[in-house]
Amino acid sequence: MINKDNILIILPFLCLLFIGIIMVTSSSVYVAEKMYGNPFQFAEKQIIFLCIGMLATIIAMSIPSNLFYHYDWFFLLASFLLLLALLLPGIGTEVNGSTRWIRLGPINIQPSEISKLALLIYISGYCVRRQSEINTTLGFFRPLVILAGFGLLIMSQPDLGSTLVISMMVIAILFFAGISFLQFLLLICLMVSFAAYAVFFIAFRYARLISFTDPFAHFKEAGWQLGNALLGIGRGEWFGVGLGNSIQKNLYLPEPHTDFIFAVLVEEFGVAGSLILLALYAFLIVGIIMTAIKSIELGNLFNGLFAFGTGILIAIQALFNIGVNLGMLPTKGLTLPFISYGGTSLIVFMFMIGMVLRINYENRVTK
């Protein structure tokens, strides 16, 4: 399936995976040594996740896209049940005050990550089936009711970051599918109002907002994460201190292998390294959007909407994570796609890329 049409997707995809393994290994050594006595504990698990993700990518590439279209309700229902399961005693696993994981033996499954894929598939299918109704009141509000249900369950974990990312993805798909600009503005206003309420009326989120505006004024409290991230980024300067030489990952920076892995990358590879990473994301997203446009031109609306949603989701989550690391956004627990440690996130994003590559293949066959 590799040719000039999808090389713009495959090359940056593989490069990002390679960088991810290197950075998880580098950023997690001190944390893993302290927690498990094995400095490569997280790196070894990430390699296992990567192998599972490669299998998921191959499986997605092997399944005709119309199968996902016809069974979109199944993915939505399965994802919803997983989110509900987190509310049951003894099933959800609490980490750092959040109940976002279901433990199955040695692995943790994060239902909110699976819900991104499920909603992406379902909303894309809904916009195809209800294309003539998407601008009517009923047709417009149906997907919003589903989004609200998922949003309430994810917020109960609590996880504002994932809720906002999913909401932005759904709004983008609906806009691309043809809702009016007035409806689009209404959705944006609703999301902004919801985010403002969730931040200003919840104490710990408000503390994060205050620390985000001046992290060093609250350095020993809520500003600890962002303050150490900015110190690491500042040390990196243009070309970094070298792979493995980060100081902030040495138990100063919380979650250096997950939420704040970008800060470690900049510290070790500098502005030059961060620009290379951003370029890889840009090429990947452009390749995905080109696939989406081609699908629309060929009359495959579901394929086009799914590919478009995938590109938007990767872009939004990457921008959120990088924005948090740079102090441009309040701290949120969002991974950097293909880079951060985390099995469910990595596997789900790799599965999405597999589906996009399948869509790319179907575009060529349809010609």
User: Is omega for the bond preceding 215 within 30 degrees of 0, making it cis?
Assistant: no
CA dihedral 311, 316, 319, 325 (to 10 degrees): -130
Rounded Cα gap, residues 65 and 318, in angstroms: 26
d(CA 211, CA 218): 6
Burial of 120 (0-12, 13-18, 19+ CB in 10 A): buried
pLDDT at 218: 63
- The rounded distance, in Å, linking the Cα atoms of 124 and 332 is 27
- Which tokens go with 231? 């110190």
Is the pLDDT higher at 193 or at 97?
Answer: 193
Instruction: Report the distance separating Cα 359 and Cα 294, nearest Å.
Output: 10
Say yes or no to pLDDT of 1 above 60: no
Residue 68 — very low, low, confident or very high, per pLDDT cuts 50/70/90?
very high
282-321 pLDDT, tens digit each? 999 999 999 999 999 998 999 999 999 999 999 999 999 9
Cα distance between residue 242 and residue 263, in whole Å: 13
C-alpha angle 282-283-287 in degrees, rounded to nearest 5: 115
Residue-wise pLDDT tens digits, 209-228: 666 666 766 666 666 778 88
Task: Report the pLDDT value the prediction gives residue 166, as an integer from 0 to 100.
Answer: 93
Distance in angstroms (rounded) separating the CA atoms of residues 259 and 273: 18
> In angstroms, what CA-CA distances link 307 with 12, 65, 94, 237, 330?
16, 11, 33, 36, 29
pTM of the model: 0.92
Which pair of structure tokens corresponds to residue 323? 């924005």
The residue with greater pLDDT, 324 or 282, is 282
Displacement of CA 108 from its chain's centroid (Å): 17
> Tens digit of pLDDT for each residue in 95-119?
666 778 788 777 788 999 999 999 9
Tell me how far apart the alpha carbons of residues 106 and 126 are, in angstroms, rounded to a whole number.
36
Res. 203: pLDDT tops 80: no
Q: Rounded mean pLDDT of the chain?
A: 87
